[in-house]
Amino acid sequence: MFNEIVGALKRNLPRPIYNLIKLPYSIIVTNPRYAFGPMGFWQKTKLDLYELIGRKPKLIKYGNFKFYSPGWKMLLEKNGYYQLKNLKSILDLGGYMGDSAIELAGYGNKEIHAFEPEKEKFNWLEKNIALNKLSPKIKAHNYAVINGPQKSFEIKKNGSFCGASSFDDDPTLSETETVKCISIKDVMKMGDFDGFKCDIEGGEFSLADYFVDNPEDFKFKKGVIEWHFIKEDLSRKNSIIRFIKFLKEGGYKFYFYPQNKPRQATSANTELHRMFDNPKYPYTNMFYFWKP
C-alpha cells in the first residue's frame, strides 16, 4: 500500500516536493536499519555538519585502520568484499570515498588501485587514504573507467557526499557532472591485477564486453561485481550471458548473491530470470567469481 501511495505522489507532485517526501519515507519505512544504523542517514548528517562548520570528523578505529563511519566496515563485509583476500593487486572501480579500498587493504592485499570519477568523492578518497596512512598501498585515480576512447563524459548523480552516480537514465538523479575518462585497455597496463572489484552503476556491462573480447587482459583470480539491470534490456542481458560463458570456458567458478547476503548463493539461470523479468527498476545483484 505504501508503495502505491508513493507512486501516486511521484506522478502528481512537482519533483522538488516529491523528493522532500521521498527522503523520510525511504530511510524510515523502506530501510529503517539504514536510517538508524551507524552507516546511515544520521552518520551522513553528522558528517555534513562537520563539513559545514569546518570541523574534522571524529576518527573511528577499525583494528589497525581508522575511518569516518563505523558502519562502512559492516556494510562492506555484507557486500562480500571480504572474499577478495590475500591478492597481489586489486583493481577497485567505483572507489567512492575509500571505503572499499581501505577495507580491502585490511584483508592482506598488497596493492589497490582505486578509481573514482566524481571530484568531491575523489578528494575524500585521497583524504581517507592519507588518514589511514595507506598511501603506499592504495593508489587513487580520478577517472571513470570505460570501454572506449572518450576523454570525458557527463554523469548523473544525486548529492555530492553520499549520492550515487549512474550511467542509467534514472529520474531520481537530478545533478550532473563532467568527469574525466580512461579506457579499460589503458588501465590494464597499470598493473598485473589479480583482483577485481566493480561497482560503477551500469558501466560494468561494457567492461564485461571488453574482457570477453580481450581475454589476454583477464588475469584475475577473484572478483566481485555489482550488476545493475534494467528490465528487458537485451543488450545488458546479452553482455552478462557472454561473460558467464566466458568464465565457464576459462575454468572459473561463480555465483550470484543478494546485496548484503554474500553467503546466499544462487544459480546463474535463476538470477538471469529475476534480473530481466523483475518489475523493479533498477534491479541490482552481486556476483562473485574465482579461479580454483
Tens of pLDDT, residue by residue over 263-289, are: 788 888 787 777 777 655 456 789 999
DSSP type of residue 266: B
Which residues, in sequence order, are CB contacts of 154 under 8 Å at separation 6+?
A: 176, 177, 178, 179
- What's residue 19's pLDDT? 62
Is residue 27 pLDDT above 60, yes or no? no
Give this prediction's pTM.
Answer: 0.78
- The β-bridge relationship of strands 165-166 and 90-93 is unpaired
Q: Helix, strand, or coil here: 290?
A: strand
- Reported confidence tier of residue 255, pLDDT bands at 50, 70, 90: very high
Average pLDDT over the chain, rounded to an integer: 79
DSSP type of residue 154: E
Degrees, nearest 5: CA angle 45-67-73: 90
- Nearest residue to 145 (alpha-carbon basis) of 194, 99, 200: 200
- Reported confidence tier of residue 53, pLDDT bands at 50, 70, 90: low
Question: Is it true that the peptide bond before 282 is cis, omega within 30 degrees of 0?
Answer: yes
- What's residue 95's pLDDT? 92
Is residue 20 pLDDT above 90, yes or no? no
More confident residue, 111 or 64: 111
Q: How far is CA 162 from the centre of its chain?
A: 12
Domains, the chain, ordered by start? 59-290 (3.40.50.150)
- What's residue 147's pLDDT? 95
Pull the grid cell for residue 263.
Answer: 553467503
Q: Helix, strand, or coil here: 152?
A: strand
Is residue 16 pLDDT above 80, yes or no? no
Distance of alpha carbon 95 from alpha carbon 141, whole angstroms: 9
Is residue 103 pLDDT above 80, yes or no? yes
* CA atoms 113, 242, 292, 215: torsion sign: negative
Share of the chain above pLDDT 90, in %: 41
Is residue 135 pLDDT above 60, yes or no? yes
* CA atoms 48, 49, 50, 54: torsion sign: positive
Is residue 50 pLDDT above 60, yes or no? no
Pull the grid cell for residue 8.
Answer: 501516486
Sheet holding 283-290, edge to edge: 138-141, 112-115, 90-93, 195-198, 222-229, 283-290, 253-257
Residues counted in the chain: 292
- What's residue 33's pLDDT? 44
Contact 261, 233 (CB under 8 A): no
Pull the grid cell for residue 72.
Answer: 562502512
Strand-pair partners of 56: none
- Reported confidence tier of residue 120, pLDDT bands at 50, 70, 90: confident
- Reported confidence tier of residue 30, pLDDT bands at 50, 70, 90: very low
- What's residue 241's pLDDT? 92
**pLDDT, tens digit, 9 for 90 and up, residues 200-252:** 988 999 999 999 999 999 999 999 999 987 766 778 889 999 999 999 999 99
Mean pLDDT of 94-102: 88
- Burial of residue 291 (number of CB atoms within 10 Å: 0-12, 13-18, 19+): middle
Sheet holding 165-166, edge to edge: 144-146, 175-183, 152-157, 165-166
Is residue 34 pLDDT above 70, yes or no? no
Is residue 6 pLDDT above 70, yes or no? no
- Nearest residue to 202 (alpha-carbon basis) of 160, 162, 151, 147: 147
